[in-house]
Amino acid sequence: MSFSAAVITFPGSNCDRDMAVALETVTGHAPLRIWHGDADLPERLDLIALPGGFSYGDYLRSGALAARSPVLKAVSSAAARGVPVLGVCNGFQVLTESGLLPGALMRNESMHFICRDMPLRVENAESSFTNGFVTGQEITIPVAHHDGNFFANEETLDRLEGEGRVAFRYLDSCNGSRRDIAGILNAGGNVLGMMPHPERAVDAAHGGTDGRILFESMLNALAPA
């Protein structure tokens, strides 16, 4: 099956190659590598991925400067057309700073960088990113962040919960995120932001393959009924 993806690289991205390798490993197709200064994206894409890292050195706020990059206008337009957009770690921060997802990612409650495998629970197994999971399934995905503390006001949190837009939840204390939220979807279900790194859990040699299911889910979503 053909699969066309684009991985965006910002100054300071350091997981863009990891994301590209994971996508090629699972889909069999190498993604396009797009520089953040490019103003245009191909019209036909099955996925746009915003990878982890420290865009612009996390100056001002994590993701705030990257959210003003020229390519984000094209990403926003694609998302509005229904193109799936995945933001991981710093990519999640960029999605909130650009307004594609609600809330904000604050400094970890412990004030320390966290790098470890993290148990998660799948809260929504009906999106194009999660259809290969089962709701309530417990998985393990690594985290590596300093500013992963998801914050939103109670009204926004209630709306995310009520609309089934919480995709993943931490099962262990991680970073102080409200309601232990690890990943959320937009209202259309085609934009996912998550702090854990599924691209680092694709190969058994790296310690686990639970992240592979997320990428396989996107292939499932494209398969003819």
24 torsion bin: left (phi>0), alpha (psi -120 to 50), beta (else): alpha
- DSSP, res 130: T
Catalytic residue flag (residue 199): yes
Selecting among 15, 89, 145, 174, the annotated active-site residue is 89
In this structure, the chain runs to a length of 225
Token readout for 100 is: 């594609």
| Backbone phi, psi, residue 217, to 5° | -60, -40
Selecting among 36, 97, 174, 199, the annotated active-site residue is 199
Catalytic residue flag (residue 197): yes
Tell me which residues are annotated as active site.
Answer: 89, 197, 199
